[in-house]
Amino acid sequence: MAKVSMVQRQKKRERLVKKYADKRAKLKEIARNEELPMEERFKAQLKLAELPRNSSATRLNNRCELTGRPRAYYRKLRMSRIKLRDLASNGLIPGMVKSSW
């Protein structure tokens, strides 16, 4: 299990990313539009910088939904390899069996 504080921090970041996603996308669009005057683009860039850092999607980490483990994460299943193997061994994932030879 990961530290509870790290899992909570990640959840807080996810909430902030969702909250500011539209505003951030609009400001980025303005800042990238080369047809607009430079002053307007610069103001959009400053407003973008004023948003909370944790509202940026690049600050999110992939973490296991069950344990919070940040490493060995399967995106498709949203869990770590260890938990995946546990569930497969217990027969809780349909069609998946633990290999042995």
Q: Give the residue from 14, 10, 23 showing the smallest Cα distance to 57.
A: 14
pLDDT digits (tens, 9 = 90+) for 20-79: 999 999 999 999 999 999 999 999 999 999 999 999 999 999 999 899 899 999 999 999
pLDDT digits (tens, 9 = 90+) for 17-33: 999 999 999 999 999 99
Contact predicate 16/55, CB 8 Å: yes
